[in-house]
Each structure stands twice: as C-alpha cells, then as structure tokens.
Chains A and B, each alone.
Chain A
Amino acid sequence: MDISIIFKIAAVGILISVLNQVLDRAGREEQAMLTTLAGLVVVLFWVIHYISDLFTEVQQLFQL
C-alpha cells in the first residue's frame, strides 16, 4: 500500500482549484465546473480500486 496516492490526490485537488480560479477570472464558469468534474472522475477511478481492495481484504480476513 503505497502512500503516494495521498499526494497524487492532493496534487490533483490543488491543480483543479487553481484551474477553477483561473477559468472563473476568465469568465468561463462552465469550463471551470467541467474541469472540476473531470478531476473528480479521475480521482474517483483511483479511489475505487483502493475501496474494493479494502472490502475484499476485510471479507477475506474476517471470513464474512
């Protein structure tokens, strides 16, 4: 279980918030919203693997 995922998520989050600010200032609120959503979907794919690992491990460990 590598810890780099935390830093990856934080990096994507910071990038998204910066992009959001820039696009807001440029008057394109829709694109800002879309970039936020895109960032969320990317991070969701990463996180889903971790969640499925957790639940399969718990099931296997506790013989659920």
Chain B
Amino acid sequence: MEIVQIVIIGLCAVIFIAVLDKHKEFGVYLRIVTGVIMFFIFIDKFDSIIILFNKLNALMNIDDMYMKILFQILGIAFVTEFGSQLCKDSGEKSIASNIEIAGRIIILVLSAPIVLGIINLIESIM
C-alpha cells in the first residue's frame, strides 16, 4: 500500500511547486526533498530484493564479483537518473545530459571486467 502514500506525497509536492511558481528555487527544493522521501519509502522493499539476489547467487554459484558489480551499476544508474531528472525538471537540459553522459562512462568503466569475463568464457568454449 506504499504506492498510495507515494502518489499522495507526489501530488502534494506538485501542488506546492505550482503555488511557489514565482520563486523557482523553492520548487527545486521541493523536488529534491520529495525524491529523497520517496526513495526512503521504497528502500525497505529493496532489501528483500538483495536477499533474493544473494540466494540466487548461492544457487547458481556465480562469482561474487559479478553480483557486486551489478549492484554498483544499479546504484550508479539510480543516482544518475535521480540527478539528471531533477536538472531536467528545473529546466537545465544541458546539465542533465552531462550528468547522464558521466553516469554512462562510469558504468562502462565498472562493467569492463564483466566484458572480459565473457570473452574469456567464449574463448574457453571455442
């Protein structure tokens, strides 16, 4: 039932942002705080997903390194999306695209060992 909570918070924030239309700065603050509050609402759900992933990992005995990289990429993607959407909402499209480019580069760097692992796997099969 958290989804109802989230929607209500979002609508309240939208109304307040509309009220404070003349002062754009308060709108930015409201967007940031709403994003943070919603994150803390669905963070508990995320712990159960992590437990599920660890169980899967134990079953399929994949190397722990890949799972760790997977989570790091997930975290970076989340933070990048959070930041770039906030900038886009505030009307700064160029800063948003810069943040997205930086996020993609960091994810690319993080995923390098996985790519190497796949290539080694293919070589070993052939």
Contact = CB atoms under 8 A, between A and B. Distances in A.
B66 to A, nearest CB: 13
A6 B37 contact: yes
Contacts of B33: 5-6, 9, 47, 50
A17 B43 CA distance: 35
A64 B41 CA distance: 20
Given A3-B37, A9-B16, A43-B26, 9 more contacts: A1-B40, A3-B9, A6-B16, A6-B30, A13-B20, A13-B30, A50-B33, A51-B36, A61-B47
Contacts of A16: 23, 26
A34 interface: no
Contact of B36 (A10, A36, A53): A53
Contacts of B35: 54
B36 A9 contact: no
Contacts of B30: 6, 9-10, 13
Contacts of A43: 26, 29
A64 B76 contact: yes
Interface range, A side: 20 to 34
A64 B72 contact: yes
Interface in A11-62: 12-14, 16-17, 20, 36, 40, 43-44, 47, 50-51, 53-55, 57-59, 61-62
30 contacts: A1-B36, A1-B41, A3-B12, A6-B12, A6-B13, A6-B16, A6-B30, A6-B37, A9-B26, A9-B29, A10-B19, A10-B20, A13-B19, A13-B23, A14-B19, A40-B25, A47-B29, A47-B32, A51-B32, A51-B36, A54-B39, A54-B40, A57-B40, A57-B43, A58-B39, A62-B71, A62-B74, A62-B75, A62-B78, A63-B72
